[in-house]
Structure 1
Amino acid sequence: MTDHSYAPGSLITARGREWVVLREASDDTLQVRPVTGSDEDRTLIHLPLETEPVREARFPLPNADQLGGHDSALLLRDALLLSLRRGAGPFRSFGQIAVEPRAYQLVPLLMALKLDPVRLLIADDVGVGKTIEALLIARELLDRGDIERTTVLCPPHLVDQWLAEMEIRFHIQATPVTARSAPRLERGVPPGESIFSIHRHTVVSLDYVKTAQRRDSFVQACPDFVMVDEAHTCASSGRGRHQRYELLQALAAKGTRHLVLLTATPHSGDDNAFYRLLGLVGSDFQALAHAQGRERTRLRERLANHFVQRRRPDIAEWHEGELFPQRQTRELTYELSGAWEAFFNEVLDYCAGVVETGSGNDLRQRLNFWSTLALLRCTGSSPAAAVQALHTRAGG
């Protein structure tokens, strides 16, 4: 125990150098970073084990012999401004990111900082910036020292997109874990370890990790901060979907794990899938499917702390400028002529004949109509689309 406590941001002297206190891990343990170092140099100082007493840092006052020129004064000013960005304002991460968040993108971050653990469902519309909103939360918790490792679970085709966003905009270098990369990564894993325990940040393919033999290994070594993209695909029914849901259920079962779910379509017409998705945020939220009266109101009020959803018209209220251009459409008519007109008429006659062959059987005639309608749409789109559609229909 110690008779002196140091608040986050305090400057102390220990081991012959100055440190910034990041947070107090316990009554006698401090998490610190060197004043002249980076977040990668963070360490713990256990006060009872220090041979020299830890004390507040003291710096000599400047004197007239240290006068410099205008350039040195500007350099000192810029250095101070850059160093203060790490602790200035309510967010510590803004000095570590290469993107300027819009005001509405800070809402999920503010919600997350009020939760422990973070359990959040971000259901903003496509293009609003769910990826940035999730990574803002991850970067902030990393810079506060609340988490040390992260993972992203996403469909295979989104792995590269997440890797680029994390590295370019948030300076987080992640390792992709897919069916293709896993064998190479496993060759460098020490005995008793797994891919997920030796890499600090990972982007993992859901299709790779959802199988039973890999799921248990992943759940055991999974970081305490998990982001799930296209989360609605994990809660919906269908072949193979139950494996994804069982994976997320196992991850959510650990009460201290931070879980951020991302989807633009939280409710796609399947009530059961929607309530299963809410159950991943909090197990009691699944009771909303049958709750009535005051109990339902109570659950909905609690859910509001964990669920954020904005459509594009909602974003306009933030007056962020022309984020989403207004689409203006009009129809123009044109006349077919020459070889293109003759070709189109031949296709039209062919389609009419196909539909006619189904006469007498309503179901077959209806199927023939819709299939030939698709062919006509391709034909009207472009010559290339028409050739490809006819080639496919011919069985080539």
Structure 2
Amino acid sequence: MLKLEELTPGASVRGILPHSAVTVVSVQWHGSEALTLVYRDASGQVADELLFRQDEERLEIVALGRPWSFDGNGAAFRLVAEAHRIRLAYLFDPLLAVHTSLVEPLPHQITAVYEAMLPRQPLRFLLADDPGAGKTIMAGLLIRELMVRGDLERCLIVCPGNLVEQWQDELTRRFHLPFEILTNDKLEAARTGNWFLEQNLVIARLDKLARDEQAQQKLAAPANRYDLVVVDEAHKLAASFFGARSSTPNATALASCSPA
């Protein structure tokens, strides 16, 4: 807390304006308990204000330093600069996900991810290929690349029950993506009441989501939106339209649920 006597021409004072300091131009006393302060704000405009002793509590003298002192925290600046460099790394390395993952993709996988899928956002894509052709690798590359570019934060993978651990292991080991597997215990122990809202990267069993109405309700919550949904073994899915049944070939389906 300063004293009114410290308000001298040229001093920088905080507390006159809500969001910036002002510079004292002149002071005119009215007795010993009040004064008229003439000040200049950051934009150069001059104004005045009548101050009393009770105003001393909200005022503070600001110590002015050199505008280019270079005495900031060097480690913090380097951390911010490095984070910004990593965020823009995809501009300098078009195959960033490949070079930062433990994979050696085949030519058809590079073509599918970088020439067909990435340029098409929002995406509705069906990877229909032979078993063992690397659809999981392609999905992992797409997820990793979208995350590096800042286009993906929440992702849901739906797959048969016997493949959930394989998906989690592949994504963790090869792409460093910490996906969590949906279980009954996790649904019941959710702090917010909806486990889907607490996890950004989720792997769910196909039969669990197909039969558990409670999980379906939580998944359909208005606030539960995903940037990308991956459905493995999509040929096991079917839809009925007025009695007509439709199915898909052996495939992995990917859907970007919000614009990139």
Q: Does TM, scored on the shorter chain, surpass 0.5?
A: yes
Is 1:233 aligned to 2:221, yes or no? no
Does the CA contact (< 8 Å) of 1:86 and 1:95 recur in 2? no
Alpha carbons of structure 1 residues 95 and 127: separation in structure 2 relative to 1, 3 Å: same
Identity across matched positions, percent: 30
**Which 4+ stretches in 1 moved above 6 angstroms?**
none
Cα RMSD, aligned residues only: 3.6
CA distance in 1, matches of 2:201, 2:99: 20
Does the CA contact (< 8 Å) of 2:236 and 2:248 recur in 1? no
- After superposition, give the CA deviation of every residue in 1:274-301 in whole Å (9 maximum; x if it has no partner): 49x9x997xxxxxxxxxxxxxxxxxxxx
Q: Secondary structure at the match of 1:35?
A: helix
Alpha carbons of structure 1 residues 111 and 233: separation in structure 2 relative to 1, 3 Å: same
- After superposition, give the CA deviation of every residue in 1:240-293 in whole Å (9 maximum; x if it has no partner): xx9xxxxxxxxxxxxxxxxxxxxxxxxxxx983249x9x997xxxxxxxxxxxx
Which structure's residues are more often helix, by fraction? 1
State the 1:86 CA deviation. 5.7
CA distance in 2, matches of 1:272, 1:228: 16
Q: Secondary structure at the match of 1:101?
A: coil
Does the CA contact (< 8 Å) of 2:161 and 2:207 recur in 1? yes
Bigger relative contact order, structure 1 or 2, given CA contacts below 8 A and separation 6+? 2
Gapped regions of structure 1 (runs ≥ 5): 1-14, 20-32, 43-83, 243-269, 282-396
Alpha carbons of structure 1 residues 123 and 86: separation in structure 2 relative to 1, 3 Å: same
Q: Secondary structure at the match of 1:90?
A: coil
CA distance in 1, matches of 2:238, 2:80: 45
CA distance in 2, matches of 1:101, 1:35: 31
CA distance in 1, matches of 2:254, 2:93: 32
Which structure's residues are more often strand, by fraction? 2
CA distance in 2, matches of 1:148, 1:209: 21
Residue of structure 1 aligned with 2:227, choices 224, 230, 235: 224
Q: Secondary structure at the match of 1:162?
A: helix
In the other structure, the counterpart of 1:35 is 81
Give me the TM-score of the superposition, normalised by structure 2: 0.58
- Pairing 1:1-396 to 2, within 5 Å after superposition: 17-18=76-77, 34-37=80-83, 87-109=91-113, 110-177=115-182, 181-183=183-185, 185-191=186-192, 193-211=193-211, 212-220=213-221, 221-235=224-238, 272-274=246-248
CA distance in 2, matches of 1:280, 1:101: 19
State the 1:34 CA deviation. 2.7
Number of equivalences: 176
Amino acid at match of 2:184: A
Give me the TM-score of the superposition, normalised by structure 1: 0.39
CA distance in 2, matches of 1:124, 1:273: 16
